[in-house]
């Protein structure tokens, strides 16, 4: 089957019992060993059971089945952990998905001519974290970012700010806060998350030295006359394009009331770090 008819980045995340009603957008697929995982926003998967369906709107695209891999948090109010959504793809439905993103390079920002990183594997051994590199890049001119969501499709905005903590409204049970793009099953942000066998020993020492620099958020200013996201787009991959290469930045979360005309996404680093805590070494597909 042509790859355009397979489930891929920007397609629909649905509850298994209600596969027609999408709850959010699939950000991308990542691999760990021989296993395949779907990545989306954590609140898309809240309080709706372990089984999920990933489907495309193309008539010939077969659905893929997946199991929610919950992340354990020592602090139930840790929203960085709470917004990590990981789905383990059922092996027998992997033939229904396209895991590749053409021309991807997750480490393009901050590379020097002497130092080259694996473009498929987020590197934590760089001299400066990506969040700081993005801040520096914004000082030299506008940095445009893109996303592909279920509701609004392909849209463009401008990265206006990098933050290291969630806006206060994200803690509130409100349509103006963290749940601005939920369509059903809204739960309070202070509800405890599911617990699984989670080992902090799996985290790389480098991450544990300064974990805050890897836990960041991006604020995207909407283009004139065009919204960047609407309900249903939660979980979409936010990316930049530099030197013809696609740079995945993070996963779209929603709209915070403090920033009208802006959308919020969480840096990819949080997903990779929580994956390591679960014994996964998440990377992109060739």
Query: Tell me: the pLDDT tens digits for 196-234?
Result: 333 444 445 444 444 578 899 999 999 988 899 988 899
E strand map for the chain: 12-15, 18-25, 28-32, 35-41, 51-55, 64-68, 84-89, 144-149, 153-163, 217-222, 237-242, 245-254, 262-267
Domain tally, the chain: 2
Give the pLDDT confidence score for residue 55 in this predicted structure: 84
Q: Please, are residues 40 and 234 in contact by the beta-carbon 8 Å criterion?
A: yes
Is 279 part of any domain?
A: no
Shared domain check, 206 and 249: yes
Largest CA-CA distance found in the chain, in angstroms, rounded: 52
Shared domain check, 140 and 49: no
Is 231 part of any domain?
A: yes
CA distance 22 to 34: 28
- β 28-32/217-222 pair status: unpaired
Shared domain check, 138 and 82: no
Shared domain check, 245 and 172: yes
Shared domain check, 92 and 150: no
Shared domain check, 252 and 135: yes
Give the pLDDT confidence score for residue 116 in this predicted structure: 65
Please give the radius of gyration of the chain, using alpha carbons only, rounded to the nearest integer. 17
Question: Tokens representing 23?
Answer: 């709850």
Shared domain check, 56 and 163: no
Is 104 part of any domain?
A: no
Higher pLDDT, 111 or 157: 157
Which one of 83-87, 124-128, 137-141 scores highest in mean pLDDT?
A: 83-87
Is 275 part of any domain?
A: no
Shared domain check, 258 and 144: yes
Shared domain check, 137 and 187: yes
Give me the CATH number covering residue 233.
2.40.10
Shared domain check, 257 and 153: yes
Give pLDDT tens digits for 38-96.
999 999 987 666 888 888 765 445 689 999 998 877 676 788 988 999 999 999 989 88
Shared domain check, 177 and 86: no
Q: Which domain holds residue 236?
A: 130-270
Helix (H, G, I), strand (E, B) or coil at 276: helix
Give the pLDDT confidence score for residue 19 in this predicted structure: 53
Is 212 part of any domain?
A: yes
Question: Tokens representing 82?
Answer: 């709470």
Helix (H, G, I), strand (E, B) or coil at 30: strand
> Last residue of a domain, which of 96, 120, 141?
96
Is 250 part of any domain?
A: yes
Mean pLDDT of 106-114: 62
Give the pLDDT confidence score for residue 172 in this predicted structure: 66
Shared domain check, 77 and 16: yes
């Amino acid at each position: 089957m042509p790859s355009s008819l397979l489930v891929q980045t920007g397609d629909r995340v649905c509850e298994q019992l209600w596969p027609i009603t999408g709850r959010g957008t699939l950000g991308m697929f990542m691999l760990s060993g021989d296993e395949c995982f779907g990545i989306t926003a954590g609140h898309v998967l809240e309080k709706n059971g372990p089984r999920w369906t990933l489907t495309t709107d193309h008539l010939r695209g077969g659905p893929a089945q997946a199991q929610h891999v919950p992340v354990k948090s020592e602090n139930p109010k840790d929203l960085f952990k709470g917004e990590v959504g990981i789905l383990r793809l059922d092996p027998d439905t992997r033939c229904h998905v396209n895991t590749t993103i053409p021309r991807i390079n997750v480490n393009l920002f901050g590379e020097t001519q002497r130092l080259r990183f694996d473009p498929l594997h987020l590197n934590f051994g760089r001299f400066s974290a990506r969040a700081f590199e993005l801040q520096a890049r914004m000082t030299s001119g506008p940095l445009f970012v893109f996303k592909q969501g279920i509701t609004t499709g392909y849209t463009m905005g401008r990265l206006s700010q990098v933050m290291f903590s969630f806006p206060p409204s994200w803690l509130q049970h409100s349509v103006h806060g963290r749940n601005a793009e939920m369509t059903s099953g809204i739960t309070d942000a202070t509800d405890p998350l599911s617990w699984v066998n989670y080992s902090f020993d799996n985290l790389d020492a480098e991450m544990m030295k300064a974990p805050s620099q890897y836990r960041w958020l991006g604020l995207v200013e909407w283009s004139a006359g065009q919204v960047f996201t609407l309900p249903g787009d939660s979980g979409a991959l936010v990316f930049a394009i530099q030197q013809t290469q696609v740079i995945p930045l993070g996963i779209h979360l929603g709209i915070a009331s403090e920033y009208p005309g802006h959308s919020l996404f969480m840096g990819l680093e949080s997903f990779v770090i929580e994956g390591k805590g679960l014994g996964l070494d998440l990377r992109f597909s060739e």
